[in-house]
Structure 1
Amino acid sequence: MTIRVLLAEDMHMVRGALVALLGLEEDIDVIAELANGDEIVPAALRHKPDVAVIDIDLAGMDGLTAAGHLQDVMPECRTLILTSLGRPGTFRRALAAGVRGFLLKDAPPSQLAQAIRRVAQGERVVDPDLMVAAWDSGDNPLTERETEVLRLAADGAEVTEIAGRLYLSVGTVRNYLTSAVVKLNARNRLDAVRIAREAGWV
């Protein structure tokens, strides 16, 4: 049986290389190639793939959000996430989105085809080192609001801008940022952003 694959990767050269690689497999057929996360669900509904191979960092809707929407509207299509960064928090978000596989881009090429086959059969495929890191890292200590404030700060927004966007006072925003710094045992706001990013929390 041929496995029908939808591939979403925003870097043209990488996408081309993956399509060429999978084209060498007799039992795998790439039926759709996309660069934008917003196109994933419409294309999946149109082409009816068995497996969607999705990069996390896509233009438009990010890969994990798109994977969650795809799971909602087309649960029979199983999803395999590709990423260059194995962050434990991102991995946990992928599991929550119903993703069946999570593979690092620097894995040997043969692993991708094998992961697609296993995911198509209903198995879960996860990089073992990433699973251990996720197990060891613990849960996000930040509240939803602290995470939201820190995410905006990570994008370069100043305190007054964050306050305006979230309809909070400047003092409240500063309190959330201070709380995040303390909870993450960070030196300052920038260090808190770094720690949260590495954990996949923002």
Structure 2
Amino acid sequence: MIRVLLVDDQALVRGALAALLGLERDIEVVGQAGTASEAIDAARAARPDVVLLDIQMPGGDGLAAAAALRGLDCRVIMLTTFGRPGYLARAMAAGAAGFVVKDTKPEHLAEAVRKVHAGLRVVDPDLAAVSLSSGISPLTARELEVMNAATVADIARRLHLSEGTVRNHLSSAMGKTGARTRAEAVRLATEKGWL
């Protein structure tokens, strides 16, 4: 039996996934969690072979949880509504072995669990095609950091930078995204999954 842990902040989604996967003869749902922080504890307790992990959840995002799960003897499939190219790249960098969008057919999800358990990688084919055509994020880690904070002064204090340096990073990020404003740069980077 392939032991699966389900991690999603929506109880109804977790229940539906558990019911669907429970119909499979070779898959057993051994635990559920509603937050990224609960996912780590649940994985330690249940010892799953595969963790189906949502990206956007309270208590930390699924990408950080995927990275934290690397030390445990399990493989991670990101299962999300947000099929964005940047999320795919970040998930793979965090150690995920699969990336599936929630509107996939149930039989495809079960097959993804089997393949990942067997040591293969599984990626939604449409998202893979979009990711290849859009390329990797042109933004540096520092540009991403400064785009996420409230004001230039707040960013400068938090990152121990001068306000001029923060403005330079913001300007560079705006240029790379083709945005005219910081808000537009944040929106574009978010849509691509870079933030």
Question: TM-score, normalised to structure 1's length?
Answer: 0.91
Shift, 1:94, TM fit: 1.1
Residue 77 of structure 1: aligned partner: 74
Please, what is the CA RMSD of the aligned residues? Answer: 1.3
Q: Which moved more, 1:158-167 or 1:46-55?
A: 158-167
Q: How does 1:10-21 map to 2 (within 5 A)?
A: 10-21=9-20
Report if aligned partners of 2:37, 2:65 keep a CA contact under 8 Å in 1.
Answer: yes
Supply the distance in 1 between the matched residues of 2:103 and 2:23 (Cα, whole angstroms): 19
* One-letter amino acid matched to 1:158: T
Which amino acid letter does the alignment assign opposite residue 8 of structure 1?
Answer: V
Structure 1 residues not aligned, in runs of 5+? none
Aligned-partner Cα distance in 2 for 1:69–1:165: 24
Partner residue of 1:197 out of 174, 187, 190: 190
Are 2:186 and 1:187 equivalent residues in the alignment? no
Q: CA deviation at 1:64?
A: 1.1
Amino acid at match of 2:132: W
Task: Give the fraction of aligned pairs with identical amino acids, expressed as a percent.
Answer: 52
| 1:109-120 correspondence to structure 2 within 5 Å | 109-120=106-117
* Partner in structure 1 of residue 28 of structure 2: 29
Offset of 1:192 from its aligned partner? 0.7
Give the secondary structure class of the aligned counterpart of 1:182: helix
Task: Give the number of equivalent residue pairs.
Answer: 195
> Alignment partner of 1:122: what SS?
coil
Q: Give how far 1:10 is off.
A: 0.4
Deviating above 6 A after TM superposition, structure 1's stretches of 4 or more consecutive aligned residues are none
> Which residue in 1 is equivalent to 2:122?
125
Question: Separation in 1 of the partners of 2:60 and 2:184?
Answer: 27
Counterpart of 2:105 in structure 1 is: 108
Q: Which amino acid letter does the alignment assign opposite residue 107 of structure 1?
A: T
Q: CA deviation at 1:55?
A: 0.5
Q: Which runs of 5+ in 2 are unaligned?
A: none
Aligned to 2:94: 97
Q: Could you give the per-residue CA deviations for residues 84-106 of structure 1, whole angstroms, max 9, x where no partner exists?
A: 11111110111112211100011
Counterpart residue type for residue 61 of structure 1: G
Q: Which amino acid aligns with 2:38?
A: E
In terms of mean alpha carbon deviation, does 125-134 or 39-48 score higher?
39-48
For the pair 1:88 / 2:81, whether they are aligned, the reply is no
SS of the residue corresponding to residue 64 of structure 2 reads helix
* 1:135-193 deviations in Å (ceiling 9; x for gaps): 111222222211110122xxxx1222222222223232222211211121112212111
Counterpart CA distance in 2 for 1:88 and 1:117 is 24
- Structure 2 partner of 1:172: 165
Does the 8 Å contact 2:89/2:136 carry over to 1? no
Q: Deviations over 1:48-88 (max 9, x none)?
A: 111111011121121111111111x11x3111111111111
Query: Given residue 200 of structure 1, which amino acid in structure 2 is its aligned partner?
Result: G
